Chains A and B, each alone.
Chain A
Amino acid sequence: AQTVTQSQPEMSVQEAETVTLSCTYDTSESDYYLFWYKQPPSRQMILVIRQEAYKQQNATENRFSVNFQKAAKSFSLKISDSQLGDAAMYFCAYRAQKLVFGQGTRLTINP
């Protein structure tokens, strides 16, 4: 079975600084998709960024970028120029047949 592991239950960063959230996954599939979702206190899951496993180029979305290491089964999220509105739970997710989520990392932004 596919599993997703986020080893950092909590992270904090100073406003305007850069932070990296870690994620590893286990799969025997060769074709799959990886996602980072943000869940603020409102509970609504918001897609931050997605990566297709067949693409070697790392995905970027404005201040958000990923470091995708397929051989190592690693998929970290880098947030640059952190803003107060980035504070939330961040979930890494994997999808081959269905979406499987990690346990989440709570990100705190210090002003």
Chain B
Amino acid sequence: EAGVAQSPRYKIIEKRQSVAFWCNPISGHATLYWYQQILGQGPKLLIQFQNNGVVDDSQLPKDRFSAERLKGVDSTLKIQPAKLEDSAVYLCASSRGGADTDTQYFGPGTRLTVL
């Protein structure tokens, strides 16, 4: 079974530029998560999708971050415009359903550096 795929693995941009990250979850997984992991910290949930609907986006900075999951499969996370404090690893995860019992499987992440 293929794991969660993410691209790109690395991205370097100037502040005020835009950037987008892509995630392909494990086949058949209905729930998709985006996390932000700042250096030296644990991941923090940004947004959770159940199929193509948003379940939780309470910690997503909506003035600059947006995410979509068209057709309930792949997802894209966008930052526009980027700030220095957005430098982090962005992790995508998926689970079979959205229940508390479901294990989340993580992708390799995208390391973003904002200069």
**Which A residues are closer than 8 A to B by beta carbons?**
4, 31-33, 37, 42-47, 50, 52, 91, 93, 95-104
Minimum CB–CB distance from B67 to chain A (whole Å) comes to 15
Minimum CB–CB distance from B45 to chain A (whole Å) comes to 5
Minimum CB–CB distance from B37 to chain A (whole Å) comes to 8
For B89, give the chain A residue with the smallest CB separation: A43
The answer to whether A43 and B111 touch across the interface, beta carbons within 8 angstroms, is yes
Minimum CB–CB distance from A48 to chain B (whole Å) comes to 11
Number of interface residues of B (CB under 8 A): 22
Minimum CB–CB distance from A22 to chain B (whole Å) comes to 15
- In the complex, A101→B45 CA distance in Å? 9
The answer to whether B42 and A44 touch across the interface, beta carbons within 8 angstroms, is no
The interface stretch among B15-23, B68-76, B100-108 is: B100-108
User: With a CB–CB cut-off of 8 A, which chain A residues contact B109?
Assistant: 43-44
The answer to whether B100 and A44 touch across the interface, beta carbons within 8 angstroms, is no
With A101-B42, A103-B41, A104-B42: A47-B111 Cβ-Cβ less than 8 Å: no
The answer to whether A101 and B100 touch across the interface, beta carbons within 8 angstroms, is no
CB within 8 A of A99: which of B45, B105, B107, B111?
B45
The answer to whether B40 and A103 touch across the interface, beta carbons within 8 angstroms, is yes
Query: What are 12 A-B residue pairs whose CB atoms fall within 8 Å in the complex?
Result: A33-B100, A43-B89, A43-B109, A44-B106, A44-B107, A44-B109, A45-B43, A46-B106, A47-B105, A52-B101, A95-B100, A99-B43
